[in-house]
Amino acid sequence: MELPQDIAKELAATAKAIAAPGKGILAADESTGTIQKRFDSIKGKPSERSIAEVAYGLARYAAICQQNRLVPIVEPEILTDGAHDINTCARVTEKVLAAVFKQLSDQGVMLEGALLKPNMVTPGAECKTRAKPEEVAFFTVRSLARTVPPALPGVTFLSGGQSEEEATINLNAMNKMGPHPWALTFSYGRALQASTLQAWGGNPENKSKAQEVLLKRAKANSEAQLGTYAGDAAAGGAAKSLYEKNYVY
């Protein structure tokens, strides 16, 4: 490929400047897992600036979606890594959601045409004190009530590494507390697919069995969205934790 002369000249000059005597490059292309080990030694993360910048990015994404006739699903996730308690998760969740909705307002996003996809408020994955569904429901709904305007039509929770059954039961507990100003529903990945994939195992002969498992979990979550789930879909691997430490997208 023959480059235009002006581009070729500029590239050569840049490469020569980088390789100049006494100079080198700071590498920043390593994995999340390795770079996180060094960042973990720094206190006060994430910074106020970091939260504000991420909130701004989510709001710009939402605004661009709406300008192109797409409904944005805004996803500010608080990861479950760590030993923090449920009160800490609630405080951080509220702080982040408040920042996100300020930016959504500043960027002119029409809340009536958007959805929120947050984490549920739970203790950290390594916290010794586990929370009951009623506690998760209370803290999650309270955090939403403090930060999410009623103009938003729906909150579509991510499962965040909870087991399939945990994600379903916690959603059910929230909807039993209703009515709420927004619909509380699900947008699960692992918590809808794990048992199905296990049942299928890549074997065509297991197709019907896998479909049956998927329908069972889909029905359970549909009932949880209505607050009527009776806990009758907990068989198999549905109770197995789907948490992955240091999970990244």
pLDDT value at position 232?
A: 73
pLDDT value at position 247?
A: 56
Query: Which residues on adjacent β-strands are paired with residue 155?
Result: 116, 184
161 and 241 Cβ atoms separated by less than 8 Å? yes
Mean pLDDT of the chain: 91
pLDDT value at position 158?
A: 95
| Residue 248: pLDDT over 70 | no
Confidence tier at 30 by pLDDT (50, 70, 90): confident
Q: Per-residue pLDDT averaged across 198-206, rounded? A: 94
Q: What's the pTM?
A: 0.82
Q: What angle do CA 70, 184, 211 make, to 5 degrees?
A: 80
pLDDT value at position 233?
A: 62
| Residue 219: pLDDT over 60 | yes
Quick: pLDDT tens for 170-199: 999 999 998 999 999 999 998 999 999 999
pLDDT value at position 80?
A: 86
Query: Which residues on adjacent β-strands are paired with residue 26?
Result: none
Q: What distance in Å separates the CA atoms of residue 45 and residue 47, rounded to the nearest whole number? A: 5
Which residues are known catalytic residues?
Answer: 75, 117
Domains of the chain, CATH where assigned: 40-226 (3.20.20.70)
Quick: pLDDT tens for 75-130: 999 988 888 899 999 999 999 999 999 999 999 999 999 999 999 999 988 899 99
Record the tokens describing residue 177, joined without a space.
């507390």
114 and 66 Cβ atoms separated by less than 8 Å? yes
